[in-house]
Amino acid sequence: PPPQTTFSRVMLKISGEALMGDQGYGLHPPTVERIAREIKSVRDLGVEICMVIGGGNIFRGLQGSAQGMERTTADYMGMLATVMNALAMQSALEAMGVFTRVISAIPMDQVCEPYIRRRAVRHLEKKRVCIFAAGTGNPYFTTDTAATLRASEMGCEAIFKGTKVDGVYDKDPAKHADAKRYERVGYTEVLAKNLGVMDASAIALARDNNLPIIVFSLDEPGGFRGILAGRGTYTVVQ
């Protein structure tokens, strides 16, 4: 049969908020399960999958520091939130028979594996989904930067950023009926126009490592698998 995708190893980045469904906070198990099914369908194509999940559905460093907490402490709390999300995704994937590893930038051996690059690569070769947790392990960063860093380290061919919209627009499509979606857009243009794909450090790191970012909608059933096969609508940042 003809190959259904040309990708062999990819990074999927989703925000923590993608896991909360219509709730204002936390985890919505049916939503976690729905996204896990999307990931399984791509794994079933034989694609090696890395994943980074944010923590914004539970805690954001900036929100903590706005409430008077020290920024670094608040950021560590945000990183811990990403570990909870990673464990929830692991649980949903394994219930479907997908082997996974949660790999944390902050060692917590009773809970998950510490990050050791060569070991993570081995997991991928064995077709285990690697969920990278605790961001970069450093305050003042975001999980977008963590996704870009791990994608570079793991030799991913692209970062797939699953969002609520099907790509990058010149203005907010929820507010402007005449907003136009880009098919392709350069890293430098994203930075100059502040297009809000990812934060500036993540975009700059992707640019320096020639890592394309593919922005697509996670709400579309079968969307992730379709995009990998070149179907559907999306934006390539390159």
Give binding residues for UMP as ranges: 55, 75, 136-143
What's the CA dihedral at 69, 86, 57, 152 to 10 degrees? 80
Would you list the DSSP string of 50-101? EEEE--TTT--HHHHHHTT--HHHHHHHHHHHHHHHHHHHHHHHHHTT--EE
23-51 in b/e form (b: 16+ CB < 10 A) is: eeeebbeebbbbbbbbbbbbbeeebbbbb
Burial of 167: CB neighbours in 10 Å, binned 0-12, 13-18, 19+ = buried
Query: Any contact of residue 104 with ligand UDP (CB under 6 A)?
Result: no
Neighbouring CB atoms inside 10 A of 204's CB total 16
* Rounded least distance, CB 103 to ligand UDP, Å: 14
CA torsion, ordered 139, 49, 112, 94, to nearest 10 deg:
140
Given the complex with ligand UDP, which of 58 and 229 has the nearer CB atom?
Answer: 58
CB of 146 to ligand UDP, least distance (A): 5
Binding residues for ATP: 13-16, 56, 60, 163, 169, 172
Provide the CB-side half-sphere exposure for 13 (13 A, CA).
Answer: 25
Q: Which residue lies nearest ligand UDP, judged by its C-beta?
A: 54
**Of the candidate residues 4, 17, 233, 238, the single one contacting ligand UDP (CB under 6 A):** 17
Select from 41-49, 138-146, 201-209, 221-229 the region that touches ligand UDP (CB under 6 A): 138-146
Nearer to ligand UDP, 2 or 67 (CB): 67
Residues forming a β-bridge with 14: 53, 162
Which one, 106 or 177, has the nearer CB to ligand UDP?
106
For residue 73, CA distances in Å to 7, 57, 61, 112 come to 38, 18, 8, 21
Question: Is 90 a binder of ligand UDP (CB under 6 A)?
Answer: no
Single-letter amino acid code for the residue at 6 = T
Choose, by CB under 6 A, the member of 78, 162, 167, 223 that binds ligand UDP: 78
In this complex, which beta carbon is closest to ligand UDP, that of residue 16 or of residue 223?
16
Quick check: 160 binds ligand UDP (CB under 6 A)?
A: no
CB under 6 A: which stretch of 21-29, 143-151, 180-188, 214-222 binds ligand UDP? 143-151
Q: Which of 142, 148, 163, 235 binds ligand UDP (CB under 6 A)?
A: 142
**Which residues contact ligand UDP (rule: CB under 6 A)?**
15-17, 54-56, 60-62, 75, 78-79, 81-82, 135-136, 138-139, 141-144, 146
